[in-house]
Amino acid sequence: MRAKLSERNAAIVARYLEGKTLEQVGQEYGITRERVRQILIQQGVSEVQKAAVRYLRRFRDWTCRGCGKHEKRDPRNYKRLHCSKLCARKSQGPTHSEDDLIADLRRLAAELGRTPGQRDINASGKYWHMSYVYRFGSIRNAQERAGLTPRQVGGAGHAKKCP
């Protein structure tokens, strides 16, 4: 009988160290949480181990809604739906249609008399330049899709002559 009792006590300690609360372990074995606490003391579970269990119990299973990544999360970060801002943006998908973006690029080109660059798009365009990057991969690709001649890399003002 003594062997069965020690096996049971060892199982109770193991369940507690897995992260179960005193109440949950007690319900599982049909004893009070006070009795579980007494068994833990009797079996030599230290206060450090108990503190570690309390700390780890805070962490919960969490899954990113964008990429499906699984991890343990602290409750302070548990309510976030995505693992990063980029993942959130990717899962949201494009917010503007290709036709709208291309029409705005063509409108800007007609107003400026040249192919609009990033600064032009941000200053006078209807959409932010990152909308083009998210949809087409780059502003250059968007310019080509709009039938415009892409500007030189770095823009006209960045070319320096050697002395």
Structure tokens at 137: 């991969």
1 band by pLDDT with thresholds 50, 70 and 90: very low
State pTM to two decimals.
0.41
- Measured distance CA(146)–CA(3) in Å, rounded: 80
Q: Give the DSSP letter of residue 103.
A: H
Task: Return the percentage of the chain with pLDDT > 90, whole number.
Answer: 25
pLDDT at 76: 64
Alpha helix segments (H runs only) across the chain:
2-17, 22-29, 33-42, 47-57, 75-78, 85-92, 98-112, 118-124, 129-136, 139-145
| Spatial CB neighbours of 27, under 8 Å, sequence gap ≥ 6 | none
Q: How far is CA 15 from CA 9, 23, 25, 28, in A?
A: 10, 11, 7, 10
| Spatial CB neighbours of 10, under 8 Å, sequence gap ≥ 6 | 43
- 104-127: per-residue pLDDT in tens? 999 999 999 999 999 999 898 888
Q: Is pLDDT of 147 > 70?
A: yes
Contact indicator for 35, 59 with CB cutoff of 8 Å: no
Q: Is pLDDT of 153 > 70?
A: no
Question: Of 94, 95, 93, 70, nearest to 83 (Cα)?
Answer: 70
pLDDT at 135: 85
Average pLDDT of the residues in 50-67: 72
**DSSP helix/strand/coil, 60:** strand
Q: Name the phi and psi angles at 47, rounded to 5.
A: -65, -30
Q: How many CA atoms lie within 13 A of 29 on its CB side?
A: 25
